[in-house]
Amino acid sequence: MSDRIFAFICLALACLMTWGATVIEESFIQDPLGPKVFPLVIAFVLAACGVAMLLRPDGEPIWPTRRKQIQLLWTVGAMVLYVQFLPVVGFLISTAVGAAFLSWQLGATLRQACLGGLSISVGIYVVFRLILGLSLARGPFGF
């Protein structure tokens, strides 16, 4: 079933690509093939594969249990929040919190996670900012 759903997504993508290719504005300088043909070829390949998977799907993958699904959602959410907060509060704070959260998700106790997150953040800051001079996100406090 998962494969069939994926096949439908591929077919939908192929349709979208075909539509997207037809609305590409042609320019006045033009080679014989133009910018539309290659996308159309790719859309065709995508559609053909979609049909093939629809006809001969593989066995069902082992999807995570409900509890794991929620945990994965949390993890992705944490990464998105991390990125959003990066320019606001700066590298050190956001990375410490982000790493601590991930570490907690991977089974560290709260104390271990906080310590781990803090040391990862400070460690990266020292190596990449202070030693190698990479530009990291600066928050209002300058770090």
Partner 1 sequence: METLNALANGFAIALTWQNLGLALLGCFLGTIIGALPGLGPSNGVAILIPLVFSIGLAATPALILLTSVYYGAMYGGRISSILLNIPGDEPAMMTTLDGFPMAQKGQAGEALAISGIASFVGAVFATCGLVLLAPQLVEVALLFGPAEYFALFALAFATLGGLSSKNQAKAAVAAAIGLAIAMIGVDGQTGVPRFTFNNLHFYDGIDFLVAIVGLFAVSEVLVFVENHGTGQGTDSASRFKLGRVTPPLAMLKQTRGAMGRGTLLGFIAGVLPGAGASLGSFIAYTVEKKVSNKDDTFGKGDPRGVAAPEAGNNAAAGGALVPMLALGVPGSGTTAVLLAMLLTLDITPGPLLFTKNPDVVWGLIAALFIGNVMLLAMNIPLVSLFVRLLSVPSKYLIPGVAMISFVGIYGISGSTFDLMVMVGFGVLGWALRKLEVPLVPIILGLLLGSQMENNLRRAMTIADGEVAALVESPLALGLWCAAIIGFLLPLVIGRYLRYKEDK
| C-beta closer to partner 1: residue 13 or 143 | 13
Question: Least CB distance from residue 122 to partner 1, whole Å?
Answer: 11
Question: Least CB distance from residue 78 to partner 1, whole Å?
Answer: 10
Q: How far apart are CA 82 and CA 137, in angstroms?
A: 12
Question: Least CB distance from residue 140 to partner 1, whole Å?
Answer: 16
Neighbours of 79 (CB within 10 A): 13
Q: How far is CA 106 from CA 23, 69, 102, 116, 117, in A?
A: 47, 14, 6, 12, 12
Neighbours of 124 (CB within 10 A): 17
The closest alpha carbon to 107, from 75, 61, 62, belongs to 75
| C-beta closer to partner 1: residue 63 or 141 | 63
| C-beta closer to partner 1: residue 87 or 130 | 87
Question: Least CB distance from residue 9 to partner 1, whole Å?
Answer: 10
| C-beta closer to partner 1: residue 23 or 141 | 23
Q: How far is CA 120 from CA 24, 31, 124, 127, in A?
A: 46, 53, 6, 11
